Amino acid sequence: MEVTLSENNQNNRNFTSVIKNKRAFFSGLDWKTLPSEEKNARTFARKNDAEYFLSCQYQDSENETKTMVAFIGKEDLPAGASSFWSLALMIKPLIEPDGYAICELGDLYGFVSCVNNVLVNDVVGNKSQIMSALTTFLEFNETPEPGWKLYQPESWDISQALPSLTLSALIDVKKPPKEAAFTRVSRKRQFMIYGGSAILAILLWNGITMYQEYREKEAAAEAARLRLAKEMADKQAIQIAPPWQHLPEIKPFIDKCIDKWDALPLSIAGWRFDLAECSTSGNDGLLRTSYKELSGVTVEDFSTRIREIFQGTTTATFVLPEGSAGGFSLPVSFDVSPDPITPDTLPQATDIQERLTTFAQKMRLKLTWQEIENTKTDEEGRPIILPWNEYELMIQTSTPPSILFANFHEPAVRFQYAGIKLEEGRLNYEIKGAFYVKNN
């Protein structure tokens, strides 16, 4: 077994690769959250000049699915290895949902931690570096009720630790878990390369005419492959659910937000209303509020009154230590249309843009939109052309939304955010969402 220490050129982080049976097991990888504008982990890895990538998904605090990605570049590939694995993702199932493990890696140690099933640490270093990382982890994460699941080397003195998690126990397996396996970024087909003498022999044997027929067959096969790829892309586009189908239409969204706004006190224990934000990603939504502290009142006054008003169903949050702003959150439920507009009945871009502009002119409001990049890719990196285009939409106005949208019906428009803010004694509104049009 060989252990090597390499330097990651992208972010100056050290990582260790442990090689056995032509398998390289990496520890100390730099995990990045996949940006929302990226279509998939493979294209993100390609943009970062990676040779191999690995991704895993998790649920964030708002129950949205996020993706973490790790890369290894061509210059980081250890000699003698033909497959690559993440030790952190091999250890993570052993410490879920909340735990950490310290594993000996030759003269170094690997530290892996996980909170609420989310990978937090993948660090490699000497004993003092790992102790520092462990101390930081424990300071910033509250101990779960059943306690941490934890593994430590026999030479370390950590109370309530499980038996030592040895490196050999992890890598001496017939087949490591596929979830921990790196994937090559490029999927170019491998072609057999013939020497000049072999080609010459074929030409001599079959003649120029047969060679031309061979080329024609190859061209026909390539054309068939492209047609098949296009058909698969079209099928995948059909299988992708239109984003507006799981969002409420304009009136149900606005009505539910207004119901929540109207129930908010303008003052709570001497704290003055400042801002309320209503948002949704489907049937479930959230109302976030902000109140400003006035002279002579405390955060305790506000917190106590919130518990009384909402009978313990929500709690106050504050900007501390200043204590000048506080708020709370409430759930909002929305009704999604059982019969949403279909892609083939979407309006043309110019038609809906004219209607929106006319609406803005009549109501004297500020309206802006911007087209969103709509191309998605499949696992092979091929583009999937969707039958719709999407435009981000934002409206700013001082007209109450109940009046603004009383007679406005546009099934191709969906709002996901509505904010109300008190400024100089006047309520101003900001509404964000999108509208969808045919992709001709």
**pLDDT tens per residue, range 86-108:** 999 999 999 999 999 999 888 88
Q: What is the mean pLDDT of the chain?
A: 84
32-38's contacts with Cβ under 8 Å and 24+ in sequence apart are: 32/68, 32/69, 32/70, 32/71, 33/66, 33/67, 33/68, 33/69, 34/66, 34/67, 34/68, 34/69, 37/373
**310 and 388 within one domain:** yes
**CA triplet 86, 89, 94: central angle to 5 degrees?**
135
Claim to verify: residue 330 and residue 371 sit in the same structural domain: yes
Is the pLDDT score of 220 beyond 70? Answer: no
Same domain, 235 and 297: no
Please tell me the predicted confidence (pLDDT) of residue 159.
Answer: 65
Same structural domain, 66 and 173:
yes
When pLDDT is cut at 50, 70 and 90, the band that residue 223 belongs to is: low
Same domain, 352 and 404: yes
**Whole-prediction pTM:** 0.47
pLDDT band at 191 (very low <50, low <70, confident <90, very high): very low
Residues 72 and 37 occupy one common structural domain: yes
Which of 164, 184, 204 is a domain's end point?
184
pLDDT at site 233: 47
Examine the domain organization and report whether 63 and 177 are in the same domain. yes
Count of domains forming the chain: 3
Please give the residue that has the higher pLDDT: either 264 or 214.
264
**Cα torsion angle, 151, 156, 161, 164, sign:** positive
pLDDT of residue 374: 75
What is the extent of the structural domain holding 113? Answer: 2-184
The reply to whether 303 and 387 lie within a common domain is yes
Kindly state whether residues 365 and 416 are assigned to the same domain: yes
Same domain, 150 and 135: yes
Other C-beta atoms within 10 Å of 171: how many? 19
State mean pLDDT over 311-337. 91
Residues 160, 56 share a domain: yes
Are 424 and 282 members of one domain?
A: yes
Of all residues in the chain, what percent carry a pLDDT higher than 70? 83
